[in-house]
Amino acid sequence: MANRPYIVGNWKMNGTRALLAEARAIDRGAARASGVQVAIAPPFTLVNPLAEAVQEITVGGQDCHVQAAGAYTGDISAAMLKDAGATFTIVGHSERRAMHGETDAVVLAKAQAALDAGLEVIVCVGETEAERDAGQAETVVCAQLQGSLPTGADIAAKVTVAYEPVWAIGTGRVPSVDDVSAMHRAIRARLIAIYGEDGAGVQILYGGSVNAGNAVELLSADEVGGALVGGASLTAESFLAIVVAAGGSASE
């Protein structure tokens, strides 16, 4: 399956309406990079304004609740994201797993809720530095995949996996290309074990300190189908440089 490289910006808890100007510039750049699929997951308050401001890129949530509606103060459901213009949501980001105590079972329930609402999902996995130092990185990531990925007929086509080593997120440190390749090959093998043939078509993104300077190298690693980008997705200049590195031509 020849998917286009998929470059997703995760704005985290950053951005007011002032940042819509960057989103428009990203959208214009994405329009010139037809070989690359570009998306942004803004804070919930910007999902609808952003969806209405852009034409080329897709817009997603950063999380969703397991229920469709109810007495869950402060939470947001997948159906609400869809209604606001989202086409996907991230689930299981390591900041949610670490700061909100989300287990694999919770991440799975959220992924299922998103699919039920008609959204695609990006399921995040990744080891801590201590786990890597202990030689447990692949074991940890494969267990997360097994526990967090929704299964069932025709599900694989709606799922993207993001491998984000926790120690590389927001730190400026990245794994070697060999380590990224080894992990992505292990993830591919696990996807095929879980989904059968369909597992070969699931895109696997790398995330963690991706920037314009390292994107070409990281994207060249085995089985890397794109990137999940935090800090460098907050300006059109730095984000479009990554889009270009992914094979588009965002600069005219």
* Contact with ligand PGA (CB under 6 A) among 210, 242, 244, 246: 210
* Contact with ligand PGA (CB under 6 A) among 7, 166, 186, 228: 228
* Contact with ligand PGA (CB under 6 A) among 230, 239, 241, 242: 230
Among residues 29 and 208, whose Cβ is nearest to ligand PGA? 208
208 lies in the site for ligand PGA, by CB under 6 A: yes
63 lies in the site for ligand PGA, by CB under 6 A: no
Name residues contacting ligand PGA, limited to 232-251 (CB under 6 A).
232
- Catalytic-role residue among 93, 95, 127, 138: 93
- Is 100 a residue of the active site? no
Name residues contacting ligand PGA, limited to 167-196 (CB under 6 A).
169-170
* Contact with ligand PGA (CB under 6 A) among 10, 62, 112, 203: 10
* Contact with ligand PGA (CB under 6 A) among 229, 244, 245, 250: 229
- Catalytic-role residue among 22, 127, 164, 223: 164
- Is 164 a residue of the active site? yes
Task: List all residues 6 or more positions away from 63 whose beta carbon is below 8 Å from its beta carbon.
Answer: 76, 89, 90, 91, 93, 96, 110
